[in-house]
Structure formats: structure tokens, C-alpha cells
Amino acid sequence: MSDNPQHVRTVHPTARRIGGAFIVLVSLLGMWASWSQVMEHGNFKIAFTIALPAFLAVGVGLLLFPGYREERLARGEDISKLEGYALITPRWWGVLVVGMALGCAWAAFLTYGPIDVLPLPTWRSLGWT
């Protein structure tokens, strides 16, 4: 790979937004499924339940913000020597922290909250048993 940051491969903004919309859709569907599981059976998978809102936050981030590579390149940074966590910008660390907080809040809501206040059909009421 060249040391020139202009040769770094980035994702096209439209592809990033389509991916973000897909992640948001799948996350919302999964959150509904975990809520439905609690309504029908009184239990849920904790890792699944925490991960879904975290992915939701990442999907929204992909819709709203440029990717971490594009962000660093726009500021004129040389990312040719950065790898892994070092590439992630403060904005994306914030998105990840918000996502984990949302995941913990969703798990707490499903555990302790008045879950029957959500006006959503369960999969059983839709005939998807």
C-alpha cells in the first residue's frame, strides 16, 4: 500500500448509507423480536438484547456521519500507519458508547420496565408462532 492517504480505499457514501439503513432495519426487527419474546415467554437472551440497540446506533451513525476513514482523510490525516482501534475517531467512539448505553437501557427495560406499554403486536398475535 502506498504511503499516500489518497490511495486508501474508502466506502462510497451511498453504499455506506444503504448498509446503515439495513443495519437499522435488522436491529429494529430484532429488538421487536426480543420484546415479543419477553411478552410471550417472560425471558430473553441478554447478549442479543444488548447488541441490537448497539447495532442500531451504529446503523444510525452510518446514515448520519462519514465513516471513520473518510473523516480522518477529510482532516488530512495520514492513516496509512493506523490499524484497528487507532483508526476509530472520537465521534465513532461516541456512537459506540451511546450504542452500548442503549443496549443496557433496553435490557433493563425488558427486565424491570412496564413492557406492556409498547403498542406493538407480538409475533403470536400476528400468527407467527
**Could you give the 3-state DSSP secondary structure of residue 106?**
helix
Judge whether 5 lies within some domain.
no
Q: What is the pLDDT confidence band of residue 4, given thresholds at 50, 70 and 90?
A: very low
Judge whether 53 lies within some domain.
yes
pLDDT at 2 over 80: no
Judge whether 128 lies within some domain.
no
Say which residues have a Cβ less than 8 Å from residue 35's Cβ, sequence separation at least 6: 110, 115, 118, 120
* pLDDT tens digits, one per residue of 32-64: 988 888 888 888 888 989 999 999 999 999 999
Tell me the whole-structure pTM to 2 decimals: 0.80
Q: Which domain holds residue 73?
A: 11-117
Look at the alpha carbons of 117, 32, 124, 112 in this order and tell me if their dihedral is positive or negative: negative
Judge whether 63 lies within some domain.
yes
The whole-chain average pLDDT of the chain stands at 84
- Whether 21 and 63 have beta carbons less than 8 Å apart is answered as yes
- Whether 106 and 53 have beta carbons less than 8 Å apart is answered as yes
**DSSP E strand stretches across the chain:** none
Q: How many domains does the chain have?
A: 1
Q: What is the pLDDT confidence band of residue 87, given thresholds at 50, 70 and 90?
A: confident
